[in-house]
Amino acid sequence: MASARARGDSIFGGLTLVATALVLVVLAGIALATLIGGWPAFARFGAGFVSHTVWDPVQRDFGALVPIYGTIVTAVLSLLLAVPIAFGIAIFLTEVAPRRLVGPISAAIELLAGIPSIIYGMWGLFVFVPFMADWVDPWLTASLGRLPVLGVLFSGPPLGLGMLTAGIILGIMVVPFVAAVMRDVFTLVPSALRESAFALGATRWEVVWGVVLPYTRTAVVGGIFLGLGRALGETMAVTFVLGNAHDFNLSLLAPSTSIAAAIANEFTEADSATYLSALIALGFILFVVTFIVLVFAKLLLLRLARQAGR
């Protein structure tokens, strides 16, 4: 009897191992496939592939700097917008809101997470881009655009399309993910801790900053990086509002392209082996960028955990 139970246990253990191994195999498979597929491009252009801004399908000369830059800048912009908003939402839901509001608001945020990205893209193009072109871009160019050094970031004609618009749309898309994680972990803070702080006369802000955040910061950082991962890989919404131009431009108002958008746009008509290989190489680079972000997040979490232990 005992041995049969032990066998059942080992079978179960084996099954979970298979499930885990499957993920690792798929991961390694994708990495390897994109590396092999992109190898002709890496071999031909060398390390210059990642620092070169030319993208010329006619001459078959490809460099990935513009899509890499566009991907990173839009993702960072989206986090600058999404993290404070998500933080506010989570605090409101866990600390401030009356109980009967929590359910409906949480549901609304989850609904926001469920909207397909192409809807964000179309809304962005038809509603948000004209708004940016008519109001926000001209105002930014007239005010911040005059600053020395920083002014470069806000120069150029007010197209409404570009890295700033894409960053804002991505930010809106990322908010529900980060907010959901933050809300979930904030509710896990033991009420004894929270109530003790209130009993000591702490204000709501002091409780959040001094008790809730330190208690949950590893999970909060995890949630932020989850959002970053989504922003890095987003394709459809970005394609609509980023402008899809392989021009290197420092201005946030200028059109650019991202890795995912370039692949989605150009894959079907990539008519030479080098072109196709360059696009697959872009895929591999996105893989590497995401991997670096995750490793960075893991290291940050480890450091935070060690500090918290002290």
Partner 1 sequence: MKRFTTALAAVLAAATLTVAPVRAQQVTGAGSTFVYPVLAAWSDAYAKKTGVKINYQSIGSGGGIAQIKAGTVTFGASDMPLEPARLAEAGLIQFPLIIGAVVPVVNLPGIDTGKIRLSGKLLADIFLGTVKTWNDPALAALNPGLALPALPISVVHRSDGSGTTFNFVDYLAKVSPDWRAKIGVGTSVSWPAGVGGKGNEGVAAYVQRLKGSIGYVEYAYVLQNKIPYAVLENAAGSFVAPSARSFQEAAASADWSKAQDFDLVMTNAPGAGAYPITATVFILMHRQSKEPAQTKQALDFFRWALGQGQEVASKLDYVPLPEPLVAQIEAYWQASLH
Q: Which residues bind partner 1 (CB under 8 A)?
A: 33, 36-37, 39-40, 54-59, 125-126, 129-130, 133, 157, 159-161, 239, 243-247, 255, 257, 261, 265-271, 273, 276-277, 280
Measured from the Cβ of residue 177, the count of other Cβ atoms closer than 10 Å reads: 22
CB of 69 to partner 1, least distance (A): 16
CB of 28 to partner 1, least distance (A): 16
Residues 6 or more apart whose CB falls under 8 angstroms from that of 81 comprise 167, 168, 171, 172
Q: Of 98 and 269, which has the nearer Cβ to partner 1?
A: 269
Q: Of 191 and 269, which has the nearer Cβ to partner 1?
A: 269
Q: Of 218 and 265, which has the nearer Cβ to partner 1?
A: 265
Q: Of 16 and 59, which has the nearer Cβ to partner 1?
A: 59
CB of 135 to partner 1, least distance (A): 13
Tokens of 158: 């007010």
CB of 85 to partner 1, least distance (A): 27
CB of 235 to partner 1, least distance (A): 11
Measured from the Cβ of residue 123, the count of other Cβ atoms closer than 10 Å reads: 17
Q: Of 157 and 210, which has the nearer Cβ to partner 1?
A: 157
Q: Of 200 and 271, which has the nearer Cβ to partner 1?
A: 271
Compute the distance between CA of residue 125 and CA of residue 117 in angstroms, rounded to an integer: 12
To which H or E segment does residue 287 belong?
helix 273-309
CB of 31 to partner 1, least distance (A): 14
To which H or E segment does residue 74 belong?
helix 65-91
Closest CA to 85 of 187, 146, 173: 173
Q: Of 50 and 276, which has the nearer Cβ to partner 1?
A: 276
Closest CA to 307 of 196, 217, 182, 221: 217
> What residues pair up with 61 in beta bridges, in sequence order?
56
The label of the residue with tokens 């959901």 reads: 180
CB of 72 to partner 1, least distance (A): 20
Q: Is the separation of the CB atoms in 20 and 38 below 8 Å?
A: no
Tell me the C-alpha to C-alpha distance, in Å, between residue 152 and each of 56, 140, 143, 267. Answer: 26, 11, 12, 33
Compute the distance between CA of residue 119 and CA of residue 100 in angstroms, rounded to an integer: 30
Q: Is the separation of the CB atoms in 160 and 255 below 8 Å?
A: no
> What residues pair up with 54 in beta bridges, in sequence order?
none
Q: Of 7 and 60, which has the nearer Cβ to partner 1?
A: 60
CB of 292 to partner 1, least distance (A): 24
